[in-house]
Structure 1
Amino acid sequence: MENNNSLFTQIGGQDTIDKLVDAFYPRVYKDPELRPLFEGDMEEIKRKQRLFLPQFLGGPALYSQEFGPPAMRERHLPFEITPKRATCWLRCMKEAFVEVGLDSHPIGPRFYDKLIQVAGIMVNSPDEN
């Protein structure tokens, strides 16, 4: 049973997640800082994000049903995630928020704040000088 008070429900559910993912990943794949981290099949990466974000926002645990606990930091340790790359990731996400209207949605800032926290947790390497 879905929690009607979840951020997932409040932003519009899976339809909004799908639009956000579709707006976000083309930006990521075009970003020169991020492109080396995302060389796999974009459609498969988008599919996983479509499963993860609902769970992240208090909706159905789709990601865990297929892949087990998210453990996102551990899953990303093989990739060199620097503070600069985290900033680029957030910029791409902010642009995607604007494209799909989440920037002006009442819940948008809470959702984005959660992503800022995740980006910080994912950093596992220093920026190169």
Structure 2
Amino acid sequence: MNYEITRACKNGKVEFKNPSTDLYKVLGYDGMQKLLYDFYDKIYDSDIAHFFPQDPDEFEEVKKKNTKFFIQICGGPSIYDEEMKQKDLNEYMIEIHKNFSIYEKSRDEWLGTFREVLQGLEIDEEIKNDFWQYLDKFSKLTVNRYLKESAYV
């Protein structure tokens, strides 16, 4: 698995589907939680840590909330819906990212960190690939700032 990161394009149409439920079926609640906690612990030490609360207790709450999102989007219990009262999880996630200036470089760091934890996961490559395809495509929708193209390009 090469975990290719495809480019986000300003005003580009992004088509994606939610990941299959296979990841949740294989990992279960505890395994998903471990995967996501490992991911967010790495994010806390990454170049995009500034997007997240620096207070450890506040960061822990964000980690818990976002883990619930991923557990639900992968077919787990509706724990995110119950807490957030959202009907469309993907639309909500896009909306809350509008509060941040997210460039392609930040998306690359986020995906690179996810790539790292997925590579360490010992499950079927097809299941990881399915989840990666969701992450790669969906994350394009969070990019909301683009560098001006050089006149010399």
TM-score, scaled relative to structure 1: 0.83
Q: Which amino acid aligns with 1:119?
A: S
The residue number in structure 1 matching 2:113 is 92
Question: For 2:68, what is the secondary structure of its paired residue?
Answer: helix
Distance 1:123 1:39 in 2: 20
Distance 2:148 2:26 in 1: 37
Q: Return the offset for 1:14.
A: 1.0
**Which structure is larger by alpha-carbon Rg, 1 or 2?**
2
Match of 2:53 among 39, 43, 57: 39
Q: Return the offset for 1:100.
A: 3.3
Q: Where does structure 1 differ by over 3 angstroms across 4 or more consecutive aligned residues?
A: none
Per-residue CA deviation, residues 11-66 of structure 1 (Å, 9 max, x unaligned), is 3221221111121112111112x111012522111111221112111222211111
Match of 2:34 among 9, 16, 19: 19
Distance 1:36 1:64 in 2: 27
The residue number in structure 2 matching 1:10 is 25
Distance 1:127 1:37, change over 3 A: farther
Q: Which amino acid aligns with 2:75?
A: G
Contact 1:80 1:124 in 2 (8 A): yes
5+ unaligned residues in a row in structure 1: which ranges?
none
Structure number with greater CO (CA < 8 Å, separation at least 6) is 2
5+ unaligned residues in a row in structure 2: which ranges?
1-19
Distance 2:119 2:105 in 1: 21
Q: Which amino acid aligns with 2:120?
A: E
Distance 1:58 1:105 in 2: 18
Q: For structure 1, which segment, 37-46 or 6-15, has the greater mean C-alpha deviation from structure 2 after superposition?
A: 6-15
Root mean square deviation, CA, Å:
2.1
Question: For 1:92, what is the secondary structure of its paired residue?
Answer: helix
Match of 1:51 among 53, 59, 68: 68
The residue number in structure 2 matching 1:101 is 122
Distance 1:30 1:123 in 2: 21
Aligned-pair identity (%): 27
The residue number in structure 1 matching 2:101 is 80
